[in-house]
Amino acid sequence: MSAASQRWTVARLGTAQTLAWASSYYLPAMLAVPMARDLGVAAPTVFAAFSAALIVSALLGPVAGRAIDRHGGRPVLVGTNLLFAVALAGMALAQGPVGLFAAWMLMGVAMGSGLYEAAFAALVRLYGQGARGAITGITLIAGFASTEGWPLSAWMEAQWGWRGACAGWAALHLLAGVPLNGWLPRANVAEKAHPASAEEPAAPATEPAASVSAAPASAHPLRTTVLLSFVFAVTWFTSTAMAAHLPRLLQASGTSLQAAVALAALVGPAQVAARLLEFGLLRRLHPLLSAQLAAAAHPLGAALLMALGGPAAAVFTLLHGAGNGILTIAKGTLPLVLFGPAGYGARQGLMMVPARVAQAFAPVLFGMLLDAVGAAALWSTALLGVAALGALWLLRPVARQG
């Protein structure tokens, strides 16, 4: 497969991922309050339904991964566009909490088989060990999902109400998502057992052979799986907690409301800038080393914020965003480099189960801690980050060949 063909695949899949994230993970931020008001429930009830959907997505991840390993990403991802559309239509038609929860449960099925983990598995299924650059590419594109999704949700809600906004997102999945994922290359069934076959492109010339391990970490597979699962759980917990409470945390650290909102908006650009760095300079490093550097960013920023208060708020926000941006890529590249491409989808889906569960409870747990101890709540994510960094240091790249 040519480099140009791979770039088009990344562009299509990245755009489809932007749509998937904007219409699911980032939906409650704009629509939870009008949803709750119209359905006669409290706003936390809507977020509870969202958390339940994340639990469902955790349970479905391994199943979706196995399906992609077996059939390739195209049929699975096209199917999730249809599920997203049905779930969003169900929300638009909900008349009470029962209908709301039912729609979010279906949304959880779609999220478990249609977000980054599934997209990463689809790329590994197509490109094997050469998928690192493609994984980075789709995270660069979909890194703007909130930047694009929040204003679009707000505009549709202002024009047509929250039900019309849900219906609008459903229509986009049918009119744009299905074709985008439907144009993905078909995975060759004969390559199922060996996704990184000779017919597939090798790692890009700019990426030295030393950056990708040629053999799986077979000596301690269970230990490696547990350590990676812990790192991913910490990453998802911290990123979700910050996404839900960052402005309030910055206020508790001594910044004004206006400044806190402005600084929180720096997370998105910091993530994208870090992913560009990963795509360029850090691409020459082993993915494990770039993940270790990224894991240190949040604890370092937290230490500065807790020591200096408001004046360090911008530095903390930028470090958190940059670290989170690279760790998102690491969720796709580390299982590939430490285990190899065979069975990637099922393995990655299994490792992401604790992460999805941690993500589901992060807003509630960190919010309670923030209410109880204020800015000192940041100690929790800082210490978790240090523990994740320690777990990454315990991992070792296997011996290279060639």
Per-residue pLDDT of the chain (402 residues; tens, 9 = 90+): 577 788 899 999 999 999 999 999 888 878 888 999 999 998 888 888 988 998 998 888 888 888 888 888 889 999 999 999 999 999 999 999 999 999 999 999 999 989 888 888 889 888 887 888 888 889 888 888 877 887 899 899 999 999 999 999 999 999 999 999 998 888 664 444 344 333 333 333 333 333 344 444 545 788 899 999 999 999 999 998 887 788 889 989 998 888 887 888 788 888 888 888 877 776 777 888 889 999 999 999 999 999 998 889 999 999 999 999 899 888 888 888 888 888 888 888 888 889 888 988 888 888 889 888 999 999 999 999 999 999 999 986 544 443
Do 222 and 174 have their domain in common? no
CB 156 within 8 A of CB 85: no
In contact, 329 and 278? CB cutoff 8 Å: yes
Q: Are residues 9 and 140 in the same domain?
A: yes
Based on the fold, state whether residues 143 and 247 are members of the same structural domain.
no
For residues 284 and 178, membership in a common domain is answered with: no
As given in the structure block, the two tokens for residue 176 are 């744009």
Q: 123 and 16, same structural domain?
A: yes
Spell out the long-range contacts of 155-160 with Cβ–Cβ below 8 A and sequence spacing 24 or more: 157/30, 157/31, 157/34
Both 308 and 248 in one domain: the answer is yes
- Please check whether residue 193 lies inside any domain of the structure: no
- Domain containing 98 equals 3-187
CATH number of 33's domain: 1.20.1250.20
Residue 165 lies in a domain: yes
Looking at the structure, tell me whether residues 179 and 307 fall in a common domain. no
Do 89 and 152 share a domain, yes or no? yes
3-state secondary structure (DSSP) of residue 219: coil
Residue 311 lies in a domain: yes
CB 106 within 8 A of CB 152: no
The verdict on 317 and 388 lying in the same domain is yes
Domain boundary (187, 221, 248) is at 187
107 close to 23: Cβ distance less than 8 angstroms: no
Q: Identify whether 130 is part of a domain.
A: yes
Amino acid identity at 386: V
- Beta carbons of 115 and 181 less than 8 angstroms apart: no
Q: For residues 69 and 214, state if they share a domain.
A: no
Helices 145-172 and 3-22, axial angle in degrees (round to 10): 80
In a domain, 201, yes or no: no
Torsions phi, psi for 256 (to 5 deg): -75, 165
> Sign (positive/negative) of CA torsion 270, 275, 279, 283?
positive
Query: Is 321 found in the same domain as 237?
Result: yes
Q: Strand locations in 156-215, DSSP E?
A: none
Q: Are residues 287 and 357 in the same domain?
A: yes
State how many domains the chain has: 2
Residue 194, domain member (yes or no): no
Q: Is there a domain that residue 346 lies in?
A: yes
Provide the residue type at 364 as one letter: V
Residue 204 in domain: no
Burial class (CB in 10 A: 0-12, 13-18, 19+), 258: exposed
Measured in degrees and rounded to the nearest 5, phi and psi for residue 36 equal -60, -45
